Structure formats: C-alpha cells, structure tokens
Structure 1
Amino acid sequence: MSLKAAILASAAALAAISTAQAADAVVAAEPEPVEYVRVCDAYGTGYFYIPGTETCLRMEGYIRVEERFGHDESEPSDWSSWTRAQVTFSSKSDTEWGTLTGLITLRNEAENASDFDPTLDEGYIDIAGFRFGMQYSWWDDDPSGETDVVASNETNHNSIRYQYEGSVFTAGVSLDELEDEYATKPGEGPNDLGIAAQVSFKAGGFQGYLLGGYDTDTSEGAIRAILYAELGPGQLGLYGVWASGANYYYEESEWTVGAQYEYKVNDKLTLIPGAQYFENVALDADGEGFSGGNAWTGGITVNYKIVENLATRLSLQYHDEEEGDDQVEGFLRFQRDF
C-alpha cells in the first residue's frame, strides 16, 4: 500500500470512530439559574432577603466572657468564671398594617465550666405597635453603668404590650406574666399578673422616662424615673425608685436615688462613675412595707474598645449597708460582637 493510500485509509477510520462516539455522546443539561442572596437595606444594615421571599432576615450576636469577684461570688469562693453565647434572628416584612417583625434570641450560659443554662431569651411578634411573646420589659432599661440597681427579679416576661412612638413622646402599657416564684412576701407564687406602663420623651440633649409597675398578687407597686442630660463632655444620668411594698418589679428598698456621669474620653475609652443611696432596705415580716436600715453603693465602670467588634468592660463597686458587712465586687468582661 502506498503512503497516500495509507493516510486516506487512516483518515476514513478516524472519521468512522468519531461518528460512532458522537451518536453516543451525553448532552449536559442547562444549569438552572441561581438566585443569589440579595441585600435588604430597608430596615438597616445586616438584613438580607430570604431566597424566594420578600422577608428580610438579620443574624447577630455576641460571645461574652467574665471573671467575677466579690464575697461568696461562687460560694464559698470569692471569684467565678462565667461565659455567655447569644445569637439573635430578626425577620421583617412589609404589610398593610406596617412592618411585621419576628425575633428569636437564643442564649446559653456557663459558670465554672459546669453550670449550663440554655434558654429562649426572647421570642416575640411585633406589628402595628403591639408585641406578643417573651420579651424584655421597660424595667430592663437601666443606666449604662454597673453601679445602679433599679429593678428586681427577672426583667423578661411573656407579655402583651402596646407602645405608641411619636417624634418626641412615647407611651405604652404591658400585661406581664410574672412566672418566677420568689419568697420575699408570704403567699407570693408564680403565674402572677403584672401591669406596667411607661411614658418617655427625647428633646435636644434631654431624655426622660417615667415607669410604673403593679404586682396584682402582692397588691404592691413601684414607680421609677430616669433623666439624662448632655452636660459638658459627657452625659449626666439621674434616677430614683419608690416601692409601696414587696413586689416583683422592685423590692430592694422603700426608695432609692442615684446618679452617674458617662464621660467619653475618646473613641475607645469611656468612664462611668456612679453612686446610689437606698433608704429602708429591710422588709417588714409580712412584706407589706419596709422598715429601717439604709445602704449606699459607689463605683466606676470602664469601657474600652480593643478593636472593631471586640471590647472590654471593668466594673468596680463598693457597697456599704448599715446593718451588714461592707463589700467590694465587680467583674472584668471581654465581648466579641458579630
């Protein structure tokens, strides 16, 4: 066979093989279009659309580590290591009644590496000024330092509340299930009902809050007022609480007054000195009122931003009670936000 004939024969053979393979070739399916996550900027930073919906979702949280110290802080030890991990899921969407919000906060705490306490910290639905579910009450809104004691017992409840928010004034009322049993007043039990109401204002460099709470089981209540004013290089905070007798919202003393000054030294460092006085810290035997004894607390809170999303807080407090021992207590905290 000549060279030319051999080349033609080889080409014919290759063509035949290619034709046979082409007949058996698998045709790849067209890829389905991918729906990428879209940023939702209608409700602030961090929200994104849940794919396939018009609902916006944000996930945030923090890890907090504290070294606590004080007399019998973790009895019989005078110090304790404590850690909290928390994550919050917040969903929002527009409706004909306004923004529909759903919020879930999951929290887990561990002390001394053995005491684990997983909880649903918050879980509520919010629409048109109404909020239903496990939520923090207005009694949880305290001054920014660590010196003050302006609430008693747990400050989150299964509640139904309504709040009107205006440009200057805000007002609201809530019905709270006071679900935790406490033994301060004889006969007090769980599953009690509390009623709380608050009015507040913000105008210029001033903010004010007036809050009341009534415990239907003990038939006692408390009133609290807080005022903030921009003064000099920082903000002055003044507060006071009065209680008619032992009640879930406040039962530390018959009345108390206190003050703090939040001084922002620079973008990283903030100093918050404060002091508080308590009058009649002892309860009557029947819990109907308060008897003698007074106390006062003074201290300082130091906040320092180490880097973006990592900060530390130092709390040093001195407590002196007329009929008790003096105490020094506080903590050193590190917190990573995300």
Structure 2
Amino acid sequence: MNIKSLLIGSAAATAAVSGAQAADAIVIPQPEPMEYVRVCDVYGAGFFYIPGTETCLKIGGYARYEISWAEGDDGWKKMARGTLTVDARSETEYGTLGGFIELRAQTQSGFTSNEGYVVVDDELVNNDVDNYVQLQQAIISLGGLSMGVSDTLYDAGLSGEFDSGGGDRVHFIRYTFDAANGVFVSVALEEADYNLDYTPNVVGSLGVAQGWGSVTAWGAYDATAEEWAAKGIASINATSAITLELLGTYESGNSFYSVSNGGNGGYEWSAGGYVKFAATPKMSIGFGGQYFVNEHGTDLDDYALGAVLDYEIVENFDAKLAVNYRDGDNFGDDNNWSGFARFTRSF
C-alpha cells in the first residue's frame, strides 16, 4: 500500500461519514408570522382587536385614595379603592354587541369590625364592612337592548357631592332608543335585592341632549312599595366656562327611588341647583344645594349645601376637595359638616 492509496481511502471514509450526518440532520422549521395586536379605533381610544377575532376590547379602571371627616367622628377615615373594567364590542346585523364588566375592591378604616370580606351581588361571603370585592357592573347589550346588573335607570343627580336623586344598583332589562336631534327614550324593568318577587319595578326616561345642554325626565314605580316617583334634571351651558344645573323630585311615598339627606328620607318633594365654573382648563369650582320637603311620616323639612374643587394634576390623575353641610328639622342643634380629599388615577 502506498501513500496514494492511503489518501484515497481516507477521503472515501470521510465522505461516507459526512453523508450519514447529513441524512440525520434536524431541520428547524421557519417561525410562523406573528400576529400583532391591532388598534381598534371604531369605538374610540383604548380599544384593540382580540387576536384572531373581530371583537374590540378595552381594559380600564382607576386607583383611588380618599381621606374624609364628619362631625361626630373620632378621627380621619381613610379609604383605598381599585376598579377594573373590561369593555368588549363587535358589530352584528342587529347592531353593536357589547359586554361590560366592572370589578371593585375597597379597604376602609374608621369602622369597628373584623377585616376582610367579599361581596358578590350584594351578598356577604364573610362579615366585614372595611374591605370588600364587588361585582359592580355586568352588562350585556345588543343594539338598544341591555341587561345585567348596574345602577338603576333612575340614578341621576346634580354634579356635586351633597345631593340625592334616588335609586341604587339593580338587576335590569332595558331598552334605549336614540332618535334624531339628540332625543332619547329608555324603558326598564328592574329588581332591587329587597323586592325579590315576580313583579318588577318599572322605570322610564325621556330626554334631549344638544349643544346648549340637556333636559331629562324620569318616572319610576316601585311594585313592592306600591309607590311612584318622578324626577327632572336640566343642565344648561350658560357660557363656555359656566354650567347651570337644576333638579326637581316628587314621590308618593317611601320607595326604592326615594331621595335621602344624610340618612333621612324619603321626602315628598325636593328641589336643588348647582353651578360649575371652569376657572382654568385644569381646575373647576362648583357650589349648590338641595331642599327636601315633607319627610314621609314626619312632615319635616331639611336641606343640604355643598362645594367642590376639582383639579387635574396631570393627565389621568385628578384631585377633588369637597365640603358639605346638612341641616333642618331632622338635625335639631346637631347640624352636620363633612368633607373629603380624594385622589384618583384613571387608566
């Protein structure tokens, strides 16, 4: 065997080994194209498409811290609250299909009780009023039809922190029709937790909203109490900086839709007003009052006054300072001052 033969044999062996390795090589597949989240601008800022669908989703909420005081308290009360909202929408042949959820958690000092409880649909899972988690809203909507849990259709008042317009959270089925020129009509069947039966409450509203402001009227019938209530609110844009609001209520007797004043109520009728002045693009000042006449069962009269300062520290971070005063026949010599400082970071 000569040198030439050895070289030829080595080359052949090397080629055979290389061929075997090539046959066993692992082929790495190319990555699939990534589907990035797309912005959905159909319903306003903050919405995006859920990947692989035509449903638009918006996640929001706020974090809040509040320090409050009232005559008769032994010290400052502190409250921290967080809310999380999820808003899903898509288009169908019957109109916009929507789903909205609001979860709220809160912890508060100043009460004599154990810590920690959960509230689902106003039912206590364990017993405390300092801390809770609550399903605040859960709404399904299709076109003008909506159903779920939220504030009553009757829930509306003045812009201050002193007033009462009646009503609270309910289970509901509601239909809203938006006509031309800003006219809208709503009708709802509602059930509060205390009137669990086969006969729902009935609520309706009629209003108009245009560039000059808005006017809305409500009527409600409490099937359990067999009493009815009515309310009207007008909001007028007097100038580019001044807004005037007027409120009037009437009720035949105590019901779920009765107004209250510092724990007293309801009242046969009430009237109130509020003026808001936008001093700067970031700061506004408001002042108003409400008078309550003929408390049911006592015929006592009361009133409430309030002032509010709102200030936008930076975008999505606001501060509010409120001072309220309540007095009248129900209070005697014990008039009631209260107020709070509130900070809210929205997202």
**TM-score between both structures, scaled by the size of structure 1:** 0.86
Where does residue 141 of structure 2 map in the other structure? 126
Where does residue 50 of structure 2 map in the other structure? 50
Per-residue deviation, 1:225: 0.6
Change (3 A) 1:267 1:261: same
Give yes or no for contact 2:153–2:188 (8 Å, CA) kept in 1.
no
Give 1:276's aligned amino acid: Q
Per-residue deviation, 1:151: 1.5
Deviations 1:68-96 (A, max 9, x none): 211355xxx35311121111111111111
Give 1:151's aligned amino acid: G
Where does residue 3 of structure 1 map in the other structure? none
Select which of 78, 81, 85 maps to 2:82: 85
Change (3 A) 1:10 1:295: farther
Alignment of 1:297-316 (within 5 A): 297-316=304-323
Per-residue deviation, 1:128: 2.4
Q: Structure 1: give runs of 5+ residues left out of the alignment.
A: 1-6, 182-188, 285-290
Give 2:40's aligned amino acid: C
Alignment of 1:1-338 (within 5 A): 21-72=21-72, 77-112=74-109, 114=116, 115-152=130-167, 155-166=168-179, 167-179=181-193, 181=194, 190-191=196-197, 193-232=200-239, 233-252=241-260, 253-281=267-295, 283-284=296-297, 291-324=298-331, 325-338=334-347
User: Could you tell me how far apart the structure 1 residues matched to 2:72 and 2:100 are?
Assistant: 37
User: Could you tell me how far apart the structure 1 residues matched to 2:98 and 2:160 are?
Assistant: 30
Give 1:33's aligned amino acid: P
Per-residue deviation, 1:337: 0.5
Give yes or no for contact 2:165–2:259 (8 Å, CA) kept in 1.
no
Give 1:336's aligned amino acid: R
User: Could you tell me how far apart the structure 2 residues matched to 1:256 and 1:118 are?
Assistant: 34
User: Could you tell me how far apart the structure 2 residues matched to 1:266 and 1:217 are?
Assistant: 48
Per-residue deviation, 1:136: 2.0
Change (3 A) 1:17 1:265: farther
User: Could you tell me how far apart the structure 2 residues matched to 1:251 and 1:261 are?
Assistant: 21
**TM-score between both structures, scaled by the size of structure 2:** 0.83
Q: CA RMSD in A?
A: 2.5
Give 1:89's aligned amino acid: V
Give yes or no for contact 1:245–1:251 (8 Å, CA) kept in 2.
no
Change (3 A) 1:21 1:322: same
Give yes or no for contact 2:106–2:131 (8 Å, CA) kept in 1.
yes
Give 1:62's aligned amino acid: Y
Identity in percent: 35
Helix, strand or coil for the counterpart of 1:138? coil
Give yes or no for contact 1:72–1:79 (8 Å, CA) kept in 2.
no
Where does residue 4 of structure 1 map in the other structure? none
Change (3 A) 1:48 1:88: same
Number of residue-to-residue matches in the alignment: 316
User: Could you tell me how far apart the structure 1 residues matched to 2:252 and 2:238 are?
Assistant: 33
User: Could you tell me how far apart the structure 2 residues matched to 1:78 and 1:139 are?
Assistant: 35
Deviations 1:169-212 (A, max 9, x none): 11111010111x3xxxxxxx545631110000123313101011
Helix, strand or coil for the counterpart of 2:141? strand
Per-residue deviation, 1:146: 1.1
Change (3 A) 1:157 1:236: same
Where does residue 4 of structure 2 map in the other structure? none
Give yes or no for contact 1:220–1:246 (8 Å, CA) kept in 2.
yes
Give yes or no for contact 2:137–2:150 (8 Å, CA) kept in 1.
yes
User: Could you tell me how far apart the structure 2 residues matched to 1:82 and 1:158 are?
Assistant: 27
Helix, strand or coil for the counterpart of 1:140? coil
Deviations 1:214-259 (A, max 9, x none): 1011111111110011113310001111111100011431111111
